[in-house]
């Protein structure tokens, strides 16, 4: 794929992160905001609460989207930083290959976890 279209995907992934991470942070801090308004304080990372969210399709899908966007955006950005060092061509190729493989493995593992928990009936 041409470098310019990879860069456009990088910007697009940044926008996806902006929206989904915004929601993620809102969900993770919502209870503290509500508690400040007088509601009983619940822990958003309590195992039962995490499980209740993770069993809903909408959360499972957005986790996978955020995972993909953050991995692509972060690793492509890291690749750009490393390429600014004007490395030898072979080292550039190896770096790009390594980052691509690492990204794909992490994406596969994170997707597996999200789908596995979504399909788990009880903890």
Q: What's the rounded Cα separation, in Å, for the pair 115 and 123?
A: 15
Q: Residue 46 or 91: which CB sits closer to ligand HEM?
A: 46
107 binds ligand HEM (CB under 6 A): no
Other Cβ atoms less than 10 A from the Cβ of 69: the count is 22
Selected from 36, 37, 45, 47, the binder of ligand HEM by CB under 6 A is 45
C-beta of residue 9 within 8 angstroms of C-beta of residue 75: no
- Taking CB atoms, the residue at the shortest distance from ligand HEM is 77
- Under rule CB under 6 A, which residues in 60-79 are in contact with ligand HEM? 63, 66-67, 70, 73-74, 77-78
**Least distance between ligand HEM and beta carbon 85 (Å):** 12
Residue 102: C-alpha distances to residues 2, 5, 28, 63, 91 (Å): 21, 21, 27, 18, 16
**Least distance between ligand HEM and beta carbon 91 (Å):** 18
Give me the DSSP letters along 46-89: SHHHHHHHHTSHHHHHHHHHHHHHHHHHHHHHHHHHHHTT---H
Footprint of ligand HEM on this chain (CB under 6 A)?
10-11, 14, 17-18, 21, 24, 28, 45, 50, 53-54, 59, 63, 66-67, 70, 73-74, 77-78, 80-81, 110, 113-114
């Amino acid at each position: 794929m041409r470098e310019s279209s990879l860069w456009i995907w990088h910007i697009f992934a940044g926008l996806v992160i902006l929206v989904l991470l915004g929601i993620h942070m809102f969900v993770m801090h919502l209870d503290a905001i509500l508690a400040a308004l007088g509601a009983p304080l619940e822990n958003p990372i309590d195992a039962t609460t995490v499980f209740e969210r993770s069993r809903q399709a909408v959360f499972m899908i957005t986790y996978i989207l955020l995972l993909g966007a953050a991995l692509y955006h972060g690793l492509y950005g890291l690749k750009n930083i490393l390429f600014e060092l004007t490395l030898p061509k072979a080292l550039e190729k190896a770096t790009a290959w390594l980052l691509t493989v690492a990204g794909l493995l992490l994406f596969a593992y994170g997707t597996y976890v999200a789908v596995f928990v979504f399909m788990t009936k009880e903890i």
